[in-house]
Amino acid sequence: MKTLLQYLFTGKSLTEEEARIALKDIASGNQNDAQVAAFLSVYNLRIPTTQEMTGFVKAMQELSVPLKFKHKNILDIVGTGGDGKDTFNISTLAAFVCAGTGVKVAKHGNYSVSSVSGSSNVLEQLGIVFTDNQQKLNEQLDAANITFLHAPLFHPAMKNVANVRRQLQVKTIFNLLGPLVNPCNPHTRLIGVHSEFVGKLYKEVLLSTNAVFAVVHSLDGYDEISLTGDTRIFLRKKMQIHEPKSFGFPLVRPEELHGGKTVAANAKVFMDILKGKGTVAQQHVVLANAALAISLYNENSYPAALEMAKHSLFDGKALQCFNVLKQIK
């Protein structure tokens, strides 16, 4: 590790294989806390290269709990977090809207590190019981069209670096890796990022996979389609910039997307929206994100997907999926 750190401190980068071996060694608990902290600090000073990021992702996948579903096409909707916007749980709500249309969703998430309430925080508050039991997960996917993969259950090696991460008290490379290491390796992915540079990096990493994907970034810094301004979308073969009306909705004010100040408050916002009682702005943002995901999954047009999303939310299908998921423990 000493030789590796000296190499990195000179400003050089690792090959994909070197990065895979290094992160796997660290996550396996083979290095002391000081060495781990030094390694993580390198990537707080610069963004990983595409080769490094690809190697890191492969290391995390090799160390994760193996997970396979009988369904071939699985969707994940996830954001990097870290945008500092303190929104309500947009991607998690969009996941249930997708499920209400028949899309099979394996939502990968964790407790928040940068906001009041991550997906795990709000779902736990609402009574969802996390599990890594594959029979239960398949049962949830069959009955509710959605299951939730609480990241710590599927990445047990992370406990080996948990102490260092707590002591550093800053986001690390592991936060950047989260959206890319869903243990079921979903075929369809909608990923939100808070910066254009990270969006380009994610696209380059995903190009080496067979996934159908869209990486979205609102130009004003949200890690999702926020409708507060234009949105950049990275697709496999192109990059597009869309204004809110392209998604079928008017401009939204940033303050209309604010979540609660506690997990309980965010949970209330979550359920109000799921019950069709959210504000117009809240509903619009959830529908826009869900519709893009549905169009990717079904390979249909965005307008057709938007109509499906509206029926899911306003006809109570998304809420029904939530209630069924909650019952399967």
Reading the block at residue 306, the tokens are: 């938007």
Domain spans, the chain: 2-63, 75-154+178-327
Per-residue DSSP letters for 217-263? EETTS-SS--SSS-EEEE-SS-EEEE-GGGGT-----GGGGB--SSH
Spell out the CATH class of 2-63. mainly alpha
CA 69 to CA 320: how far, in whole Å?
22
Distance CA 159, CA 71 (A): 30
pLDDT in tens for each of the 329 residues of the chain?
A: 889 999 999 999 999 999 999 999 999 989 999 999 999 999 989 999 999 999 999 999 999 998 989 899 999 999 887 666 888 999 999 999 999 999 999 999 988 765 667 899 999 999 999 999 999 999 999 999 999 999 999 999 888 888 888 888 777 888 889 999 999 999 999 999 999 999 999 999 999 999 999 999 999 999 999 999 999 999 999 999 999 999 999 999 999 999 888 999 999 999 999 999 999 999 999 999 999 999 999 999 999 999 999 999 999 999 999 999 999 98
Q: Which residues pair with 191 in a beta bridge?
A: 78, 215
pTM (2 d.p.): 0.95
- Give the gyration radius of the chain's Cα atoms: 19
Which option is the CATH number for 75-154+178-327: 3.40.710.10, 3.40.1030.10, 1.20.970.10, 1.20.1250.20? 3.40.1030.10
